[in-house]
Structure 1
Amino acid sequence: MKNITTKIALFILIGIIISACDSVKRVPENKNLLTKNSIFVNDKSVKDENAYNQLYQKPNGKLLGFRLRLNLYNLANLNPDSTFQAKFDQNPGRYERLSKIYSAKQVDRLGKSFLYSGINDFLKSTGEAPVIIDTTKIQKSMLRLRYYYFNEGFFDVKTDYDIDSTGRKKARIDYKINTGSAYIIDSVRATITTPALDSLLKTTRRTSLLVPGKQYKTTDFEEEKNRITTYFRNHGAYNFQPNYISFDIDTIEKGKKLDINMIINDYSYQDGDSTRTEPFKLYKISDVHVYTDYTAAKAKGVIRDSATYNNVHLYSYEKLKYKPRAIADAVFINKGDYFADNNTILTSRYFNNLKIFNYPSVQYEVDKRDSTRRSLIAKIYLTPRKKFSFGSSLDFTHSNIQDFGIGMTITQTIRNVFNGAETLQISARGNIGSSKDFANPRNIFFNASEYGVDMSLNFPRILLPFGTEKIIPKSMIPSTAASIGFSKQNNIGLDKENFSTAFTYNWTPKRNNTARFDLFNSQYVRNLNPSNYFNVYNSSYKSLNEIGKLYNTDISNIDGDQNLIINTGTQAFIDDVLADRTALRSTDKAHQTVESIEERRMRLTENDFIFATSYTFTTTTKRNLLDNNFYVFKAKIESAGTLLSLISDVGNLKRNENGNYQIFNLEYSEYIKTEFDYIKHWDFSRENVLAVRSFFGIAIPFGNANYIPFSRSYYAGGSNDNRGWQPYSLGPGSTNALNDFNEANMKISLSAEYRFKVLGDLKGALFVDAGNIWNIADIVTDPDAKFDSLKDLKELALGTGYGFRYDLNFFVIRLDLGFKVYNPANETGRRWLKDFNLGSSVLNFGINYPF
């Protein structure tokens, strides 16, 4: 408690010191620090971000309303060298004394030390110089504002500004915009001298961005240029570019209306020293040539092997190493079709997705055999990657299972395995980790380990005994992956062996959409140390032991301290209770607790066999890694055990004593599971981002099972979930996390996070998390853990807090401090803010952003 108080006092003291800094310390006399910009359009305040982006000067940034970077800059000594020298000018004898102790060179170097110079350089580079109002820059801002509103269709815009004092050497700027009335498009016509393009334009006018009655916007004209260019180049106009389109806008005697004449000029080209023009031609593809082993060194070499498939000609400088169909399937440029940019892009994407070639080069040349000069030969140059490649990686990890882990993976990749552009990957992985939640009798730091071997084979097509081109055309870049894997965990829970196999189809229905269909995904989980259950799930043992001290009648079940012996005593006592050989009766609450403990033990120690089929669809608007204004939506539905039950019913197989079917002497899981995950980011500029996430998942057991396997269950809490709780320590429902690893088969999660820049690569975040897990339609009997109606939504836990992120470019280190705002485990009336304190807070460490 003393340490916490000291830290809080230190934090407050630092805050007071920084707050005490004079924000106008570096502002010259008769100058003003810019505190705020406001834009008024037609006497109304606006919050248009694009308009504010036109301003040359913006106030110093704030962190929670405080200009932290400005005050850090003000703390710096701007001339540390002069200050250092002044000390000796004022006291010459001091320099002589120091020179006798140190050399003169060392004394001079002292001025470059961190104490004198380095700390000030740090404060200046980390801080932010005061933004001082500059009327020259105000004029530039007004000019840009005029251009901005002019481009929005307000041709008669007028601008002005006021500077209002907000304190000593502080002021704000009010920009005043009078737009006048907007100009409206009255008519649109086109002047085209190439008949072929005129015909094409008529087929696409319905989607034009320039239509009568619409307000003038400069961006519409640029987008219309690009739209028409794209359309023309996808219909044969190989030489067409946006610069061939221009617009003549007539406002004479039209008032606020515009007549637009779109002019599309003829093709111009250089012929010697002269520039000539001619009507555009629409080109068709006369031949497709693919060079499968091209390098710059081989460019002038002799072709030694060739093949043709579906009018695609394959050439090789050595022996052809690919099945012709595998290469031809990746080509979307067809002989006899008009030239189209889209087909070029699809071809490049497909070859790139094969991962056996470097990025392909697609080039076109006019076919000299055609006297009309309206034909193109497509030439595709492919440079193969190495057939065999070896890779390794070292990872530092943090998860809800391990507080800290070190993992290493080595991978061998073999390309073009069967000469059909297939890729085989074989990888071995190992991990050692540390977790305070695991049993650790030897008290060693790395108390958990895992190793595994995986193999996957990828085919660049859908492998089925029938054609799928009409359902999943090759333009969706389909692929098939078959995989098998084995892993083993030591000292993680009950220790496990995991065997898995999968057969998966992947395709992209649209550019930003992906679809995945697991024809089957099987998993066999074998618990190696089930007798360790009560050592791992200590809360269950404590509950059982307390009951045992009151009701155990067999002295052989307990040790010298009157505690139940693990595993013989615990199991014997449970058997006695369930067989009514103790004073407990089935109506007693303690009897029900023992039943619940045994029910959970049986469920978590049983080996699991899961044979599932699933479909996953993902769509996103994210364009690249730097895009912070996007959404991602993911939906998944999974069915497990249904096919096995159908086969068992048809085959009239026998059921076991529990009334269930078995495979390999093991009851297989049967359930239906569905998940919906939605993430949305809003970019407010200047590295301010609001991110929200919502998740709903439910898995319902039926048929051959009455519960969901632990590996397919949901948990709540942790660094990527509700950060006010430790992982697995929230729920189910209002049960107050009675068990060590609490899980359930339904989950609701909602999160919002506001991210902002603090200093350099250090970013901050304020977050709110809500959610919980519940049991529904399974064998759990505790009413506090079950979801029975919408009234149970009052058990949604609410947490909040703040955090810091440090960007290392290749990953982000994240620290979040979460507080419990609403705890459904508390009694009604004591759920709000009763645990909102440092003692109940949770410090979460994570890698990368939570969503």
Structure 2
Amino acid sequence: MVFLLIYSCGIEKYIPEGEQLYTGAELELETVSDLKDIKEVKTELFNLIEPSPNATFLGMKPALFFHYKAQREKPGFFYKFLNKSFGEEPVYFSDVNTERVEELILNRLDNNGFFYSRSDSETTIDGKFASVNYSASLPEAYVLENYNLESDSLPIYKEIEKMLPETALVKGDRFDLDLLKAERVRLNNGLKQRGYYNSQEDLLIFEADTNQYKNKKFDLFLRLKKDVPARASIPYTIDSITVYPNYSIEGDTLPLIKNNVTQVDSIDFVQNELYFKPELLKSYLLFNEGDLYDASISKQTSNRLSALGSYKYVNIQYTELDTTATDGDSGSLAANIYLAPLTKRSIRAELQAITKSNGFTGPGILLTHSNRNVFNGGETFSVSANFSYESQLSSGNNSSLSSIAGGISADLIIPRSIPFSPSRFKYAVPKTKISLGLDFLQRSQLFTLNSVNGSFGYTWKENQYVYHQLDPISINYSRLTNVTDEFQTILDDNPFLSLSFEQQFIAGLLYNFTYDEVSNINKEYPVYFATNFDLAGNMLNLVSGSSKTIFGSEYAQYAKVDADFRFYMRWQKERTLVSRIYAGWGLPYGNSQTLPFVKQFYSGGPYSVRAFNIRSLGPGNFNAQTENATTDYFDQSGNLKLEANVEYRFPLFSYLKGAFFIDAGNVWLTGNYSDIEDDQLTSSFSQNLFTDGKFEKDWLKEVAAGVGFGLRLDIQNFVIRLDLASPLRVPYLPENNRWNVPFFGNIDNNMTLNFAIGYPF
């Protein structure tokens, strides 16, 4: 209390003479009867009160304090920085206009059916501080009794009548201007989907009649404005469609002459030379000659054409051919679709700086050549080559370790789902992707790993938020060569690791489901959910007649699933609180005793529990540092992973952002590893891997946790991230010594610096 008093005095001395600091307002409502949604009404009215007072934290106003301190003649760098990052301009009582707020409250009450309300305000001044108490007296609200459409002979009235049963206006609802506006928007959108090309919201008029009732009820009547133009009250039919597949934005549209025009189902395709096959392009159009104009179908068609990946500009224009047909009750439209192609070929080069939290650092390069519309059907063929060199910069036994990685891949993306026609899909057309790649990884003093991979699958958007990816064919063949004596010793001493490298052939099915609201910047509380399903080996097992090998190589057989859920809370000035929960589980069976090495889960690193190095946690409370391994190359992993993260993100200045975070998680082993355990007992590497690493009922005691803070350079969604983290709980230490004071404890590796590209989640 004494501290708060001293703090208040510290703020008070900065308030200018003749001014009072505005500390906020209260609002009291008086009603004549019980109102079921009184809390919602009060919240809506309270949000009208302006201005907002300075932010308060634990009874103090630190943002205002930073501002005042920064106004001194010599504020110093510290207060300049705090003011730039968190400071607020003072809000004085002279900025408050109580009469305007009272008018806003009365206006909003009228809009909500509380006609003839009264509002008042009372000001309280206490020395250098002032507040306002607003009050409002609410009479009984007017409620809806009947909702009717005035009759007329125009065809548009019949269409409106068909849409009325779907209205959100219900008998007994309080008068609500926002609901009426929403109803008008709904009806106008419906008319535009029924051919009414010139329909507009302001042509629809609502009239409320209270004369028939003594109590506070009203009838609502809907009609068109008087003297509505004939063009706005008749439906339009699309009577001609012309597509320009190779349109130039400069405007050199080709004339409609016989040599330039190809007609498919009455649709004219105009192109000087064949750029896009007309019969394929036609399947992306959702409207045909003779259809009624539909604004939503037109927009969906535009989105489908844009998603082809061949065009930088898509524009559908409609021209009125005849405002009144022979019978006078319909109009005619000509649809012209202008498609301006992207550059056919492109080459992109990326220089990369790779820094990993396990100490490997080095340069990389990525080259990509793309050929768009390669077969005149929107197909994109791209070839990529990558090369990187990484060296272990840390001191110790591994200071001389390095790795060279490279590969080449080819992708063919076909903007339709072979063998299905695009016309079968309404929202978005699935794409077919065929991929083939070669990769190699040479780890000095250890091994060389060569791999071949290929896949055939589909990607598609179900709606604005839902995305699917299905690869019914996914193949990966890897071969371990140039194994040094040192690494062979590691494999001999660790049967679990050895088995995970022996499974050279991985063939199966992959499926991904993603629900993502984060890209919608208007959502205050967006969510993100993604799950992956990976099933391998069953088809090979069937083809090989249950043999353990195919083409002389052992193949993997397993099922693996994971789920990632994130919840975002956004508020002003780009401040976001992100919560994340992740769970993954893999089950080897049949031909496999362990998951392949590349399919195992690991914990730690810049996208996981950041207080620990990559692949340095688990399984369970297993401690690799106490084992007699010839090298610490052994990457700790498991077939079960659980993680949770909370991160608060805030702006600092310009493109620089800050963050505070806490991470928790680990990996474990599940299932029966009795055969491997017997082999492990004879090895010199570890006799504790399976006892310490198994997932059991006391798994919470084996969860690692860490806290930290970070800086992010965010330039138009290109993010360079530095996160400094420290362990809060270390699961591989003795049970009584697992808690640690972050940044100040006396454990080894008390701080970990993570460098990464992009946000962690």
Q: Is contact 1:494-1:533 (8 Å) kept?
A: no
Q: What letter corresponds to residue 234 of structure 2 in structure 1?
A: K
Matching of residue 850 in structure 1 with residue 757 in structure 2: no
**Cα distance per residue 1:167-215 (max 9 Å; x no partner):** x634454444544544322221122546322222232223212221223
Q: Which deviates more from structure 2 when the two are superposed, residues 399-408 or residues 609-618?
A: 399-408
- TM-score of the aligned structures, taking structure 1 as reference length: 0.75
Matching of residue 265 in structure 1 with residue 219 in structure 2: no
Q: Is contact 1:330-1:350 (8 Å) kept?
A: yes
Shift of 1:458: 1.0
- Measured in 2, the distance between the counterparts of 1:837 and 1:820 equals 10
One of 191, 200, 205 as aligned partner of 2:164: 205
Q: Is contact 1:69-1:759 (8 Å) kept?
A: no
Q: Who is 1:752 aligned against?
A: 646
Q: Aligned pair in 2 of structure 1 residues 266, 448: CA closer, same or farther (>3 Å)?
A: farther
Q: Is contact 2:706-2:742 (8 Å) kept?
A: no
**Cα distance per residue 1:18-43 (max 9 Å; x no partner):** 98994345411242223455545559
Matches within 5 A, 1:800-819: 800-819=707-726
Shift of 1:218: 2.5
Q: Is contact 1:21-1:71 (8 Å) kept?
A: no
Shift of 1:743: 0.9
Matches within 5 A, 1:161-560: 161-163=121-123, 169-191=128-150, 193=152, 195-252=154-211, 255-265=215-225, 268-269=228-229, 277=230, 280-295=233-248, 296-299=250-253, 301=255, 303=257, 304-316=259-271, 318-368=272-322, 371-372=326-327, 374-396=331-353, 399=356, 406-433=363-390, 435-436=392-393, 447-464=402-419, 467=420, 473=425, 475-491=427-443, 494-531=447-484, 534=487
- Measured in 1, the distance between the counterparts of 2:356 and 2:152 equals 66
Tell me the SS of whatever aligns to 1:345.
helix
Shift of 1:745: 0.9
Matching of residue 693 in structure 1 with residue 646 in structure 2: no
One of 1, 22, 25 as aligned partner of 1:34: 22
- Measured in 2, the distance between the counterparts of 1:384 and 1:469 equals 20
Q: Is contact 1:512-1:620 (8 Å) kept?
A: yes
Q: Which deviates more from structure 2 when the two are superposed, residues 379-388 or residues 732-741?
A: 732-741
Tell me the SS of whatever aligns to 1:376.
strand
Q: Aligned pair in 2 of structure 1 residues 279, 298: CA closer, same or farther (>3 Å)?
A: closer
Shift of 1:714: 1.0
Shift of 1:331: 0.9
Number of residue pairs matched by the alignment: 721
Q: Who is 1:109 aligned against?
A: none
Q: Which deviates more from structure 2 when the two are superposed, residues 396-405 or residues 258-267?
A: 396-405
- Measured in 2, the distance between the counterparts of 1:435 and 1:183 equals 75
- Measured in 1, the distance between the counterparts of 2:362 and 2:279 equals 46
- TM-score of the aligned structures, taking structure 2 as reference length: 0.84
- Measured in 2, the distance between the counterparts of 1:685 and 1:718 equals 30
Q: Who is 1:609 aligned against?
A: 505
- Measured in 2, the distance between the counterparts of 1:180 and 1:790 equals 61
Q: Who is 1:710 aligned against?
A: 597
Tell me the SS of whatever aligns to 1:383.
strand
Shift of 1:761: 5.3
Q: What letter corresponds to residue 715 of structure 2 in structure 1?
A: L
Shift of 1:119: 10
- Measured in 1, the distance between the counterparts of 2:99 and 2:54 equals 20
Tell me the SS of whatever aligns to 2:311.
coil
Q: What letter corresponds to residue 643 of structure 1 in structure 2?
A: M
- Measured in 2, the distance between the counterparts of 1:808 and 1:532 equals 47
Q: Aligned pair in 2 of structure 1 residues 669, 604: CA closer, same or farther (>3 Å)?
A: closer
Q: Aligned pair in 2 of structure 1 residues 846, 20: CA closer, same or farther (>3 Å)?
A: farther
- Measured in 1, the distance between the counterparts of 2:496 and 2:63 equals 54
Matching of residue 128 in structure 1 with residue 100 in structure 2: no
Shift of 1:233: 0.9
- Measured in 2, the distance between the counterparts of 1:792 and 1:616 equals 28
Q: Is contact 2:391-2:400 (8 Å) kept?
A: no
Q: Who is 1:5 aligned against?
A: none
- Measured in 2, the distance between the counterparts of 1:163 and 1:151 equals 27
Q: What letter corresponds to residue 104 of structure 2 in structure 1?
A: R
**Cα distance per residue 1:226-248 (max 9 Å; x no partner):** 21111111111111111111211
Cα root mean square deviation, aligned? 3.8
- Measured in 1, the distance between the counterparts of 2:450 and 2:404 equals 12
Shift of 1:730: 2.3
**Cα distance per residue 1:311-340 (max 9 Å; x no partner):** 322111x12232222211111111222111
Q: Who is 2:52 aligned against?
A: 58
Q: Is contact 2:392-2:399 (8 Å) kept?
A: no
Q: Is contact 2:284-2:422 (8 Å) kept?
A: no
Looking at secondary structure, tell me which structure has more strand per residue.
2
Tell me the SS of whatever aligns to 2:341.
coil
Q: What stretches of structure 1 of length at least 5 have no aligned partner?
A: 1-17, 81-114, 270-276, 535-566, 575-596
Q: Who is 1:646 aligned against?
A: 542
**Cα distance per residue 1:48-84 (max 9 Å; x no partner):** 8765543332233467886454333323356x6xxxx
- Measured in 2, the distance between the counterparts of 1:453 and 1:635 equals 28
Matches within 5 A, 1:578-589: none
Identity %: 26
One of 618, 625, 646 as aligned partner of 1:731: 618
Q: Is contact 2:274-2:376 (8 Å) kept?
A: no
**Cα distance per residue 1:561-583 (max 9 Å; x no partner):** xxxxxx67x78xx6xxxxxxxxx
Shift of 1:750: 2.1
Q: Aligned pair in 2 of structure 1 residues 212, 828: CA closer, same or farther (>3 Å)?
A: same
Structure of greater relative contact order (alpha carbons < 8 Å, 6+ residues apart) = 2
Q: Who is 2:684 aligned against?
A: none
Q: Aligned pair in 2 of structure 1 residues 418, 761: CA closer, same or farther (>3 Å)?
A: closer
Q: Aligned pair in 2 of structure 1 residues 37, 21: CA closer, same or farther (>3 Å)?
A: same
Q: Aligned pair in 2 of structure 1 residues 532, 695: CA closer, same or farther (>3 Å)?
A: farther
Q: What stretches of structure 2 of length at least 5 have no aligned partner?
A: 1-5, 32-37, 626-631, 678-688
Shift of 1:308: 2.3
Q: Aligned pair in 2 of structure 1 residues 463, 122: CA closer, same or farther (>3 Å)?
A: same
Q: What letter corresponds to residue 715 of structure 1 in structure 2?
A: Y
Q: Is contact 2:118-2:137 (8 Å) kept?
A: yes
Q: Aligned pair in 2 of structure 1 residues 170, 756: CA closer, same or farther (>3 Å)?
A: farther
- Measured in 1, the distance between the counterparts of 2:705 and 2:58 equals 22
Q: Is contact 1:151-1:217 (8 Å) kept?
A: yes
Q: What letter corresponds to residue 538 of structure 2 in structure 1?
A: T
Higher CA-based Rg: 1
Q: What letter corresponds to residue 479 of structure 1 in structure 2?
A: K
Q: Is contact 1:233-1:339 (8 Å) kept?
A: yes
Shift of 1:473: 2.3
Q: Is contact 2:515-2:528 (8 Å) kept?
A: yes
Shift of 1:698: 1.0
Q: Is contact 2:393-2:399 (8 Å) kept?
A: no
Shift of 1:601: 3.9
Shift of 1:443: 5.7
Looking at secondary structure, tell me which structure has more helix per residue.
1
Shift of 1:376: 2.1
Shift of 1:362: 0.6
One of 659, 662, 666 as aligned partner of 2:550: 662
- Measured in 2, the distance between the counterparts of 1:42 and 1:685 equals 32
**Cα distance per residue 1:72-111 (max 9 Å; x no partner):** 3323356x6xxxxxxxxxxxxxxxxxxxxxxxxxxxxxxx
